[in-house]
């Protein structure tokens, strides 16, 4: 990805108008005229612009009326077509429309053309007569208010595809969790009951939260994270849980995520002050499971710290281990961070990052990028020739040497034991 996408600004007007005007004859037409698009821009209707360097290379413009929005134009510079920019612009525009409480998003094409395939892939449904595409967002009105009260939101589409590496875990979660929920009628034909609750366990930083968010994005469901500290703000954590689940019941569909769930459902001892909280959550899960189009995802760094009654079948359908990336997964993660730069020795970085979590690798990549950035600034200030863009293999190696690995060998041994004693896939 070699572009940045930002909200439309007034100084973008000339560049965006030129894009719309110059691409109208290149299969990027619209039923909305250039004048109507300019009016929408000057009235500050939702619009996003993609720039490469400081030059606009793509734009998406919408017009909102009540709960419906019309995507007026997606204009892409010819040199940037076929690189995923149209989908990226549409995702960013949709995020802003959902935040504006839009319920239906429509796109009308003057004739069949290539963009129609992209709209199908983005979740739009063609209606009869003209090439009319419409997408219904899941939350509006009272549901949107409930979602806001819970601190939830609709996540950007595409997070599932953006999960780099962890291919085995991703394939397992897609087969067991995502597909039965995404295709409930097909699942029912084969006697498959879509999961209602799953637990993810593994060392810290291995991507449990990333997977939860990615599943919500893949399904197009609102994502609500329940934070014990927030639930306990008004006194009783048990009462906070009860109130949160009562609000969640008002949503049509939702993915609820509880991280570090061992804080809520630890192994119960004779003197534990958490008995009431654990019991409350155990009572709430069956009611949550009774309705379709909802999924509870709990994550823990220490599955052995959880109350055994909490994870039993009937409450949680699957207990899935999420470990450190294997060699292939590390190669995929490093390739994403290096931009597939042939000058970077990815194989060396893969070998040097064994037992590093995705979060560890991300931190090292950011550290290397910062070093390259600062070196480039220093060279410019010294009047030297511009340096090659991006971090080098040596930058990445140095960053790895500075990075404190999250997962120890002892953690790996414990995790292996936990897979045998607690894993259920």
* Domain count within the chain: 3
Least confident of 94-103, 246-255, 411-420: 94-103
Residue 112 has pLDDT above 50, yes or no: no
Are 107 and 191 in the same domain?
no
What is the pLDDT at residue 316? Answer: 93
Question: How long is the chain?
Answer: 425
418 domain residue, yes or no: no
- pLDDT tens digits, 60-94: 999 988 778 889 889 999 888 888 888 889 888 88
Strand partners, 222: none
Are 212 and 347 in the same domain?
no
- pLDDT tens digits, 301-324: 999 988 888 888 889 999 999 998
Are 17 and 92 in the same domain?
yes
Q: Which residue has the higher pLDDT, 164 or 313?
A: 313
Q: Are strands 223-225 and 254-258 parallel, antiparallel or unpaired?
A: parallel
Kindly state the average pLDDT of the residues 243-270.
87
414 domain residue, yes or no: no
Domain that holds residue 16: 4-137
Q: Domain with 343 in it: what CATH number?
A: 1.10.8.60
Residue 22 has pLDDT above 50, yes or no: yes
The span from the CA of 296 to the CA of 300, in Å, is 13
Residue 233 has pLDDT above 70, yes or no: no
Average per-residue pLDDT for the chain? 85
Region of residue 257 (phi > 0: left; psi between -120 and 50: alpha; otherwise: beta): beta
Laid out side by side, the sheet with 4-7 consists of 4-7, 47-52, 55-65, 68-76, 104-109, 131-136, 125-126
Are 169 and 286 in the same domain?
yes
Are 58 and 133 in the same domain?
yes
What is the pLDDT at residue 167? Answer: 84
**Closest among 81, 123, 86 to 106, alpha carbons compared:** 123
Give the confidence band of 132 by pLDDT, cuts at 50, 70, 90: low
Residue 127 has pLDDT above 80, yes or no: no
Are 166 and 256 in the same domain?
yes
What is the pLDDT at residue 317? Answer: 94
The span from the CA of 50 to the CA of 45, in Å, is 17
Q: Which residue has the higher pLDDT, 177 or 28?
A: 177
């Amino acid at each position: 990805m070699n572009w940045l996408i930002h909200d439309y600004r007034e100084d973008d007007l000339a560049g965006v108008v030129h894009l719309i005007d110059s691409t109208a004859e290149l299969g990027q037409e619209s039923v909305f005229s250039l004048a109507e698009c300019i009016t929408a821009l000057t009235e500050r209707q939702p619009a996003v612009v993609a720039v490469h360097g400081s030059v606009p290379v793509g734009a998406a413009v919408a017009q909102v009326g009540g709960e419906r929005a019309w995507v007026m134009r997606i204009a892409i510079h010819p040199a940037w077509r076929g690189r995923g920019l149209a989908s990226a612009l549409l995702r960013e525009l949709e995020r802003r429309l959902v935040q504006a409480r839009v319920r239906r998003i429509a796109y009308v094409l003057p004739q069949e053309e290539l963009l129609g395939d992209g709209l199908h892939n983005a979740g739009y449904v063609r209606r009869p007569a003209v090439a009319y595409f419409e997408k219904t967002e899941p939350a509006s009105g009272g549901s949107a208010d409930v979602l806001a009260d819970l601190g939830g939101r609709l996540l950007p589409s595409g997070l599932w595809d953006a999960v780099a590496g962890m291919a085995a875990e991703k394939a397992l979660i897609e087969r067991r969790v995502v597909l039965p929920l995404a295709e409930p009628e097909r699942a029912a034909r084969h006697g498959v009951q879509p999961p209602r609750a799953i637990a993810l366990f593994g060392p810290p930083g291995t991507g449990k939260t990333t997977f939860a968010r990615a599943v919500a994005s893949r399904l197009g469901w609102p994502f609500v994270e329940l934070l014990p500290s927030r639930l306990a703000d008004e006194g009783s954590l048990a009462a906070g849980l009860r109130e949160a689940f009562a609000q969640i019941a008002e949503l049509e569909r939702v993915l609820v995520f509880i991280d570090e769930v061992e804080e809520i459902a630890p192994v119960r001892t004779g003197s534990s002050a958490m008995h009431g909280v654990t019991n409350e959550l155990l009572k709430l899960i069956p009611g949550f499971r009774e309705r379709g189009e909802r999924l509870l995802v709990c994550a823990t760094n220490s599955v052995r710290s959880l109350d055994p009654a909490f994870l039993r079948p009937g409450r949680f359908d699957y207990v899935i281990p999420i470990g450190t990336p294997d060699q292939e997964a590390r190669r995929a993660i490093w390739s994403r961070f290096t931009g597939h730069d042939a000058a970077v020795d990815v194989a060396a970085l893969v070998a040097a990052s064994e037992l590093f979590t995705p979060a560890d690798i991300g931190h090292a990549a950011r550290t290397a990028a910062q070093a390259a950035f600062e070196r480039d600034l220093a060279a410019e200030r010294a009047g030297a020739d511009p340096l090659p863009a991006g971090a080098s293999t040596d930058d990445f190696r140095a960053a790895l040497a500075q990075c404190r690995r999250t997962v120890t060998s002892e953690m790996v041994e414990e995790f292996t034991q936990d897979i045998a004693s607690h894993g259920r896939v």
